[in-house]
Structure 1
Amino acid sequence: MTQATRHRIVILGGGSGGLELASALASRGGIAVTLVDRVGSHLWKPRLHEFAAGTVNSTLSEISFYMLAKMRGFRFEQGSVETIDRAGRTVRLAAMPGPNGEDFADARNVPYDTCVVALGGLTADFGTKGVAENAIRLDAKVDADAFRERFVSLMIHARETGEPARIVIVGSGATGTELAAHLRLSERAFFDREGEVQDRLLDLTILEAAPEIMPGSDEDLRKGILKRLAALDVAVVTGAKITAVERDVVRSDSGHWPADITVWAAGSIGLPVLSKLADFELDNRGRLKVDACLRTTVDDRIFALGDAASLVLEGTERPLPPTAQVASQEAAYLADALPKAIDGSPIRPFRFKDKGKLVSLGNAGTVGLVGLGRRDDFFIDGQFAKAAYHALQRRHQWAVLGPLRGSVAILADVISPTKGPAL
């Protein structure tokens, strides 16, 4: 079967769900898969806080889309998505500008027979004054790089002056709590002599608007996280409804906190481009509404998954959360469902199995809730929790690279003499 006669599936977005779907579908006969992403390499977003803190210890944390495309058999198109022409079945990619403003690559159209929107989401500011100008949101590697540069400068200044750097993190979800823990780990790199008791070079504060951290999480998980944050000397303030973020202070309706860096990690919404793609139906957070089979409500040829999709399961009131676990399960579902839909066969609705939540807090350990089969979730910590946390990314790498290459690459990564914290 030639390229021209194969069914064309275009996947917009190379996050955890989009890339896993492209890798799975590329081996299917009769399908030509194209993956589109704005940047040229894949980063597993759940570890973005480690890039920011400089504690990444895996050489597989960032992988080239071009290399993966050749390895797995799909086509990669780098570019920013502008619109989808539903009638003409094409995706419009913007021109790619060079460093001096001239266009290095013209705008172009990518034709499709089936399209999957997996463009992800971003951290919402909820209209809070000063967030865009004065806070860092960890939505992409460029944000993590910008944070790390400022962090290193602040830590050097703190070491020279004896005045601790002040970092305030708004939001007590996994991103905020894990970032705080890994920043405390990175602080060690700036001590003059390893192993000696030294004064703190870093003051860390987490602010949460809700009356408790990680709202909606299990009580045992919250207690475990609070215990470890206290051991790390991370201040946690709940009931702090932020009213403004200024250059050097965060203000709420009940107090204020001086900050050399403010990190905003207070919830996710769909990317603004989702509202401009076509006449899709959106939820109140700007995500594409989809049916039980992940089809958009206005076009059976266009599906959505991950942070870009708003799926309310039968018997529930809220959409599934924007997590890598949800995106990965949706990708696995579509890898099975799309070939059946192309052949005209009926497809079953998506079913989500919540496998729990794991939070890595650096040297303070990993805690989480894990569900097995139909049993209730149970609380885990220690080495078992740490192994489970790292297994999540290893499973993703295995899905992306394939069983053979994935196993070899992961083994090489584990024993690599070059791996270790960047700081």
Structure 2
Amino acid sequence: MADEAGRKRIVILGGGSGGLELASQLAGHAALDVALVDRELSHLWKPRLHEFAAGTVNSSLAEMSFYMLGQLRGFRFEQGTVSAIDHERREVVLAAILGEDGTVAARERRVPYDLCVVALGGVVPDFGTTGVKEFAVRLDTKADADRFRDRFIAAMIEARETGEPAEVVIVGSGATGTELAAHLRRSERGFFEQNKAERRRKLLGITILEAAPEIMPGAEPELRQQLIERLRQLDIKTVTDVNVSRIDADSVYSKSGERWSCDLAVWAAGLVGNPVLKDLGRFETDKRGRIVVDQTLRSSVDEAIYVMGDSASLTPPGADKPLPPTAQAASQQADYLTETLPLLARGEPVQPFRYSDKGRLISLGRAGAVGMIGFGRKDDFLIRGHFATAAYNALQRQHQWRVLGRLRGTVSIAADMISPTKGPALKLHGD
């Protein structure tokens, strides 16, 4: 099938970092009609959700309209919630949009495709832990970040008035939890009066709880030690070997009987596939709810459907487990599909996807910067200081160039550089 102009129809489900990069780069192909589907109106780079939550966003790419990006780059944007994929008719079904009174404002739609890419991301699971849904915040969406920020501001105002520090407990020491902790420490300064005596007060207590024996499970020992030291400098408490049993309105409890009082609890314990994936179509999924794909990112049950990013379960040759759900993997898969989908549309053979682990980077602002750069497992080495900071900054710049193109991306980067706001206190990528 093809559209009236003879172009192959590519439909991308999900406008996260990987999905949007793919749509933006594919849209330049004259032989392709590219459509991007997302339920939100605007793009938010998910690795920045903690910055929205803490109120420390400082980039012109923080949030951009999909409609505007579609006009700039040449893809069509379809706003809506994906309810199903009709494999036989090769159509994506978008649920009806309801008005505030519950009546149908826009009817169910069907978007035809020749090739479909599922990039619907992942979510933080609660693992059935009591009280997580009711009392903890999970940073899956912009709405989650907005809700946390409102509650955080109220808690900080109360702390300033009473002199009793607000307490934030974060469950999970991966990227989201650790980044958020550091950004909250930076945000604390905004609630002080501008004199030296006032700035010596403590208005915020931050505790990170980790179920594993050490923080950031899976990180290299050298990098972990550097991170522990930086968190100590930021006065962020970390507690390991904690199996959280329940959360209520003002406390987090462990199975061993420990209790941490809190004004705000954040649940940042792991990532699984978006729940919609299990009912999307007749797909094979892994134990984390991600769609199983072959080495070309094609789903195991439908040759017309490809999957990428946090939605995909790809086990490289010789590996015993799938690739981790990281922004690094999603971006590499977007680049691969940018080259591969035009070949598939022409019926030409393609090469398998090859993942290259570029390592893990941590930019800690005034507390320093460290990272592990990967050139093969035996050649990883630790970097610090300005080199590590520059390496991290390059990750975001690459995303801006892919989404906006070289010219507009460069203008966006220049705008970020002359912004009066300062960079974040701590950034992690690779988790």
Q: TM-score, normalised by structure 2?
A: 0.94
Question: 1:405 maps to which residue?
Answer: 408
1-side partners of 2:185 and 2:63: how far apart?
A: 23
Q: 1:363 to 1:95 in 2, by over 3 A?
A: farther
Residue 134 (structure 1) shift: 0.9
Question: 1:240 maps to which residue?
Answer: 242
Contact residue 18 and residue 334 of structure 2 kept, 8 A: yes
Question: 2:60 maps to which residue?
Answer: 59
Unmatched runs of 5 consecutive residues or more in structure 1: none
Question: 2:125 maps to which residue?
Answer: 124
Letter in 1 for 2:43: H
Task: Answer yes or no: is 1:380 the counterpart of 2:383.
Answer: yes
Which of 363, 369, 374 is the aligned partner of 1:371?
374
Contact residue 49 and residue 145 of structure 2 kept, 8 A: yes
Unmatched runs of 5 consecutive residues or more in structure 2: 425-431
Residue 104 (structure 1) shift: 2.4
Answer with 89-98 or 299-308: which moved more. Answer: 89-98
2-side partners of 1:356 and 1:93: how far apart?
A: 38
1-side partners of 2:344 and 2:196: how far apart?
A: 60
Task: Answer yes or no: is 1:258 the counterpart of 2:278.
Answer: no
Question: 1:112 maps to which residue?
Answer: 113
**3-state SS of paired residue (1:299):** coil
Letter in 2 for 1:198: R
Q: 1:58 to 1:152 in 2, by over 3 A?
A: same
Task: Answer yes or no: is 1:391 the counterpart of 2:369.
Answer: no
Residue 421 (structure 1) shift: 7.8
Residues 124-166 of structure 1: per-residue CA shift (max 9 Å, x gap): 1111111111110011111111100000000000000001101
Letter in 2 for 1:28: H
1-side partners of 2:322 and 2:392: how far apart?
A: 24
Contact residue 182 and residue 362 of structure 1 kept, 8 A: no
Which of 282, 286, 291 is the aligned partner of 1:283?
286
**3-state SS of paired residue (1:145):** helix
Contact residue 185 and residue 362 of structure 1 kept, 8 A: no
Contact residue 185 and residue 363 of structure 1 kept, 8 A: no
Question: 1:187 maps to which residue?
Answer: 188
Residue 120 (structure 1) shift: 0.2
Task: Answer yes or no: is 1:14 the counterpart of 2:15.
Answer: yes
1-side partners of 2:176 and 2:304: how far apart?
A: 34
Question: 1:142 maps to which residue?
Answer: 143
Q: Paired residues, what number? A: 421
Contact residue 174 and residue 359 of structure 1 kept, 8 A: no
2-side partners of 1:406 and 1:326: how far apart?
A: 21
Answer with 401-410 or 72-81: which moved more. Answer: 401-410
Identical amino acids, percent of aligned pairs: 60
2-side partners of 1:251 and 1:293: how far apart?
A: 44
Answer with 5-14 or 192-201: which moved more. Answer: 192-201
1-side partners of 2:308 and 2:231: how far apart?
A: 33
Letter in 2 for 1:291: D
Residue 372 (structure 1) shift: 4.6
**3-state SS of paired residue (1:329):** helix
Q: 1:194 to 1:99 in 2, by over 3 A?
A: farther
Question: 1:166 maps to which residue?
Answer: 167
Residues 206-230 of structure 1: per-residue CA shift (max 9 Å, x gap): 0000000111110011101100111
2-side partners of 1:195 and 1:22: how far apart?
A: 50
Letter in 2 for 1:284: K
2-side partners of 1:391 and 1:39: how far apart?
A: 27
Contact residue 285 and residue 292 of structure 2 kept, 8 A: yes
Residues 330-389 of structure 1: per-residue CA shift (max 9 Å, x gap): 010011111111212111111000111123445423322112578712112222222222
Contact residue 95 and residue 106 of structure 1 kept, 8 A: yes
